[in-house]
Amino acid sequence: MNPFLTKTRTLFAMTIMIAGGVSMAGAQPAEAEASVDAGMIAVNPLALEPAPNELSHSSDLALVEPDMVSEPMVQDVPETPPAPAAKPAKESPFVIKRVLPIDGPIKYGEWYWDDEGVPAGPLVMTVDLDARVLSVFRNGYEIGATAVLLGTDEHPTPLGTFPILTKEKDNVSEKYNNAPMPWTLRLTWDGIAIHGSPVANGYASHGCIGTPDDFAEKLFAIAKKGDKVIITRGKMIGLGDKII
C-alpha cells in the first residue's frame, strides 16, 4: 500500500471530523458517522487524485506551432538607367591632322596639291618668311604647299593674321607698272596680296606673296572672302598643333 496515499487519507478524515464538531478524544465511531451525515458531504479522498492516465507532465506536453510556409518571392529591382555616354570631344578644324609627305625643302617653282578625301571645312593659309613656304589647310589637313616669293627689306611682307578682303582673277598692279597679278587674294588695302607670279631664285616682290600660277589658280578656286592668312617668321608647327 502506498504510504503517501494512506497518510493523505488519514489527514483528510481528521479534517472532516473537526469541521463537523466531533471531538477525536471522546467520540464514538457511530456518532462521528452521524455528524458527518448531518452536516457534511462525504468526500471520497480518492476522488481528489487524478487518474493515472490523466496525469500530465510538462515533458508530455507538445507545443503545437503553426506551420510556417515560406515561398520564394522574386522582387523586381528597378533597372538603373545607364549613364549617358560621354560626347566625343569635337575636333577643332584649326588643329593640324595631316601634313603632306614632302621630302626635303621645297625648291623655287615647285608646288604640291592633294585634297582627295579631305572633308570640307574652314580654309586657313600659313606663310613663314624664314621657310619661304605657303601651306594651305582645310579642316586641319594640309592640302597644298609651295615655295613663294616675298618682299625685301625696303618692301617687307608684313607679319600677322589677315582675312582675305577681295578676290580678283585678272588683277594688275596699279603701283608697279601694271604688272600682272593673276588670281589675286587681297590681304591689305595698301597692295599686299597672294597672287600668281614667276617664282625663281634671285627674285623678290614688293611685299606680296608670289606663288606659281597653277598653284595660285587652285587656291583661288577654293578660297573665299574672310578666310585667314597667317604670316609668321621662324614658327614651326606640326601634327596636333593649333594653326590659330
CA distance 232 to 133: 11
Grid cell of 49 as nine digits: 487524485
Phi-psi region of 234 (alpha: psi -120 to 50; beta: other; left: phi over 0): left
Whether 155 is catalytic: no
144 CB burial (10 A radius; 0-12, 13-18, 19+):
buried
Residues whose CB is less than 8 angstroms from the CB of residue 177 and which lie 6 or more positions away in sequence, other chains included: none
In the block, residue with C-alpha cell 572633308: 119
Whether 195 is catalytic: yes
Residues whose CB is less than 8 angstroms from the CB of residue 108 and which lie 6 or more positions away in sequence, other chains included: 147, 199, 200, 201
Catalytic residue among 57, 155, 195, 206, which? 195
Active site residues per annotation? 195, 208
